[in-house]
Amino acid sequence: MVGKMKKTIEVAAAVIRRDGRVLLSTRPEDKPPAGREFPGGKLEPGETLKQAAERELREELGVGVVALDELFRITHETEHAVIRLRFIRTVLPEGEAVTPLEGQSFGWFDLKEPMPPDLLAPDRPVWEFLAE
């Protein structure tokens, strides 16, 4: 019997840096796995990476951001899907207040400090890359 093809999910994740720190958010309670991640989400049909990053941050954190360029790319396989994570260098304009709109929490994490222990596995290489 031939195994069925796993679906591929394209995800845009925003890498927002400010004063040597990065913005991380927790995943909404109803979207496992639990833990911290670079904020973002799935691309909608016909959407570019930049459009997805900007839309997701508006929806999740109530901020208008400017997505610039791809910084890092990771493919992560789960039992049900192949997730292609594309990490986008993103600018949060001065004065934009972050407001979690999906019940998640967020914080600014210093790249000189140890990696947060609850940072999700696919996001860890990006933290290491940024911390160098």
Q: Residue 91: which CATH number?
A: 3.90.79.10
In a domain, 2, yes or no: no
Q: What pLDDT, on the 0 to 100 scale, is given for residue 107?
A: 94
In which domain, by residue range, is 110 found?
A: 11-131
Residues 27-85 have pLDDT tens digits of: 877 787 889 999 999 999 999 999 999 999 999 899 999 999 999 999 999 888 999 99
Q: How many CA atoms lie within 13 A of 106 on its CB side?
A: 22
**Paired sense of beta strands 7-18 and 81-91, if any:** parallel
Cα 4 from chain centroid (whole Å): 28
Q: What's the pLDDT band for 1 if we cut at 50, 70, 90? A: low
Structure tokens of 87? 């990490």
Residue 132 contacts by C-beta under 8 Å, 6 or more apart in sequence? none
Q: How many domains does the chain have?
A: 1
Average pLDDT, the chain: 92
100 has a pLDDT exceeding 80: yes
Asked, for residue 1, whether it belongs to a domain, the answer is: no
Evaluate whether residue 90 is within a structural domain.
yes
State yes or no: pLDDT of 2 exceeds 70: no
The answer as to whether 107 is a domain residue is: yes
Sign of dihedral through CA atoms 32, 35, 6, 2?
Answer: negative
The answer to whether residue 6 sits within a structural domain is no
Provide the whole-model pTM.
0.90
- 83 in a structural domain: yes
4 domain-assigned = no
Tell me whether residue 51 is in a domain: yes
CA distances from 39 to 20, 42, 63 (A): 17, 11, 12
Residues 6+ apart with CB under 8 A from 2: none
